Amino acid sequence: MSSSEQATRPGIPNHVGIVMDGNGRWAKSQGKVRLEGHKRGADVARQVVRWARDLGIRHISLFAFSTENWNRPKLEVRALMGLLAMTLPKTLPEMRENGVRFRVLGDISPLPAKARKAVEQACAETCDNSAIDLILCLNYGGQQEIVAGVQHAVSWAQSQADPEKALAELTPETFRSMLWRHDIAPVDLLIRTGGERRISNFHLWDAAYAELYFSDVYWPEFSKQDLQLAVDDYAARERRFGKTSEQVNR
């Protein structure tokens, strides 16, 4: 049974997405260079996957590099790509041991060869794991994903007998199947660390009904307790999806 097919415990989100914000600010507060913040953040990311698995979360997606991050200083971008290429192979034994299936959301074709190879290797070598899915969002943007979905939908409609009717009858469910996330579980809880109160082009389609949680903690200091606080907050909420409380609680 795959991780997407296993039942999640009551009160536990099936899919948690995290904007791992605050690496650079943490480094600055510690008198360190920004890369040290990213290195520390990568260590926390590995731990968060273990904590999530222990809580019963089946899918966790981490916003590692956005489409807009290419606009950062070239030296920082190169350092981030180098960190990715170096870190992933080292974490493969741990992922295999803990049943982590590594997946990617986004267009990895522009990544440097070493980073792209590390991503592809991690996907291939963990594809049969089933305890938890780790979805690394690389060169990812929510708006870009939706635009790609629209292009797919138009192409699909043009292949139908009546293109205009096909587009008119397109449902949100069918359209989601045309997005990059078509085989990824919907996001239930979206966490952002670092004190900012925005989602920054992350999981825009699923954010329609995801629960949002904002933490003031910089990502390199994010702890197991901080994750538990977010999950507890999620468990205390009533998810109505447009219905009334009475309808939900029938």
Give the active site residues. 21, 69
How far apart, in whole angstroms, are the C-alpha atoms of residue 90 and residue 61? 19
DSSP the chain: --TTTSPPPTTS-SEEEEE---HHHHHHHTT--HHHHHHHHHHHHHHHHHHHHHHT--EEEEEEEEGGGGGS-HHHHHHHHHHHHHHHHHHHHHHHHTTEEEEEES--TTS-HHHHHHHHHHHHHTTT--SEEEEEEEEE-HHHHHHHHHHHHHHHHHTSSSHHHHHHT--HHHHHTTSTTTTSPPP-EEEE-TT----TTSSTTGGGTPEEEE--S-GGG--HHHHHHHHHHHHTS---TTS-HHHHT-
Amino acid residing at 174: T
CA angle 15, 198, 194 (to 5 degrees): 85
